[in-house]
Structure 1
Amino acid sequence: MSLYEAADGILETHVTWEDVEKTMQESLGTHAKFGENRRVTNISDMKGFMSKIALIETDWISSQLAFAALSKVMKFDGEDGFSEEKLKKLGVLTRDVHNREVETYKLLVKFDNKDIPYTKVYGLKAFSDENDLKGFLILDFIPNVHPMSMHDSIPADQLVPFVRGVATFSALAETLSPEEKKFAGGPEYLELFFGEVFDDEQMERQFDTLRSSFGDQHLQIVDNSIEILRHYNKLVKKYTRISEILGFKLVLNHGDLWQTNMLHSLGEDGKLKLEAIIDWQAVSTLPPGMDLSRLLMGCLSAEDRRVRGDEMLKIYYETFKEVLGKELFSFEELQNSYSLYFPMMAMALLPLVISFLDNSQISNEEKSEAREKTVLKLVAMMEDLIDVHDYNMENFGEFLKI
């Protein structure tokens, strides 16, 4: 029995209706039951890669089944996805990140800050040991969510509440004791990510995917980008010591900022309204530029990122300083950490976006239209990657030596 094997519980996990029902009864102080007509809907398609997301009220069940399916889509370890040996190893990571999210939700409830919208919590079940197969969260259902995917862009104005939200979370976390923050991951974040998910062999497969996505188009810029990414891939372990080497301050980062980890509704005016920030499994202590590099690269259009990127960084910086009541890091330090993490996040993003688009549940006509915009966005990302690399080499050449 393991987290990556299908079971007879909800959505083939080990979590049963009785587990969820008991937790809800304790949370709400009731003896009410779900009843014979209970139903569950899987809403985790291309979303919860370390979880199964089941719509009951809303129940998040930690499982490797979704990640195993994703590994086939992304051809991790070849056409058949992750091997059984790899999935067994990732079981430790699955338990760790789920328990991290449990502790983060406890903090969100404690902070209860209007600028960090989160889903109401009914129950939290952490994994107690390596043999425990029943970790889950029971969260409120947010209706009328506007679905977004990795290839979608969010207008800069409508991304501002999210930037303020993550800055507020990071600043409030600075008021916690070291004991209260010990649940979070550490600066070895990239080592774990690239070591467990994108090892060297998988990375080369991702680069092949990137080349094939563009064909003969943009061949030179793709090859130049891959050479730059190979350089940074050799520096992953050095990034674990980036604070020690360069003196960057470390704060709690969300760690996985992308479109499906922010729930928006869509107003009659066509504008997005942030309803909740979700999926706090990757919370880690890192320079603040890590979160922002992932967020701005993935969620903004190329034009918005180039024209208004510094403005978004400034909003984060000012919000953090206002909430904490003092300056922890300078704006220049934030810009520099953003630039240094830009290539690392590009390494994760560039090969994935087209694959996610190709496997999204939209019509072929919609895919064709989205692909045109996505290609332009990725080309701009590669152009900027080259510029950022030049800036990094000029300003942090010693750190970037292999």
Structure 2
Amino acid sequence: MSTNPETVKQPAVKEKKINLFTIDIRAYSMIGALLIIWILFSVLNDTFLTPRNLSNLFLQMSVTSILAIGMVLIIVSGQIDLSVGSLVGLTGGVAAILNVWLGWDTIPVIIATVVLGALIGLWQGWWIAYRAVPAFIVTLGGMLIFRGILTGITGSMTVAPLSPSLKIIGQGYVTPAAGLIMGAIAFILAVYFLIRQRNARIKYGFDVISINWTLIASVGIGLLIFTFIYLMNQYQGIPVPFITVIILAVLFHFIAKKTVFGRQVYAIGGNPEAAVLSGINMKRRILLVFVLGNTLAAIAGLVLTARVNAATVGAGNMYELDAIAACVIGGTSLMGGIGTIPGAIIGALVMASLDNGMSIMNIDAYWQLIVKGSILVLAVWFDIYSRNKKKR
């Protein structure tokens, strides 16, 4: 029996109206805050928005961004990790020792460092998931242990200089031509997935934005990508550490939003009891979350060590607070179950912009700490306020 193609009904397209007055304040407030910060510093100092300073800004935010990507999954699962700053120092120190003192090549150094981070995550995750020791205590102990090990293996000495090939990880730039090619590929992929998502929603009968708004979104994405590339190419090109951030952000955003593991992590943080009753293996998921988070901390350690061309005892000090602050500023709830990778990247950019702008203005370091601490408190208050408002 044959089916006439003309008789097959196509799903009706249900377009939803875009109401600019119902925009989620939580989702867009940080973008607005970032723009205000940039405008303010550009008015106060005309060098802030120059290609050179913007390039330095994206370099500065790279380590915090990588840490924040892993921290999002940890916080969303209802846990916390206070050890990532010390872990950045330890893994960076190990990488420098392998490269400088033992003469290892770049690729083996990278592999060994990343594996070390994963093993440390496995160790910490085992204590938290399978021995029921609170994450706060395990990672607080880890913070002290890792810093002590770093001091011991380096003898409190600075390990430098690194080989030129290893320094590329933290100091390299992509050529302008390569940057344009990467931008074109990114634009094509972004538009492809935008249209694919729209078609999938139509297929299953969900509301979609109109084709006109889809085109506007595509044009906006293109302008954002190629404006960024143009500005970076005015200096030395796109920094390699920032490309690392983008690749990791896209990968972990996919893991968080499009995989069973990612959905289960959100379920665990949102309602642990319901997650257990639905058959989710909480212990295994929490263990894997810490393995991923600490692996990213090892990558951040490589980037930081390569950027400064040395490993020091104080490397990574207090970076865990910057990572947590970036997550919270970007909309991640410390209560668990809520948070996004893009939001954490925006939060890291806000933090880096404040640091960079106040440094250019020659503002004393203690004021920078006061401002960042105040913003963190306000971000947490805003999270609690938003939650309470939804309950009413």
The two structures have a TM-score, normalised by structure 1, of 0.27
Structure with greater helix percent:
2
Query: Which structure's relative contact order is higher, taking Cα pairs within 8 Å and 6+ residues apart?
Result: 2
Q: Which has the larger radius of gyration?
A: 2
The two structures have a TM-score, normalised by structure 2, of 0.27
Structure with greater strand percent:
1
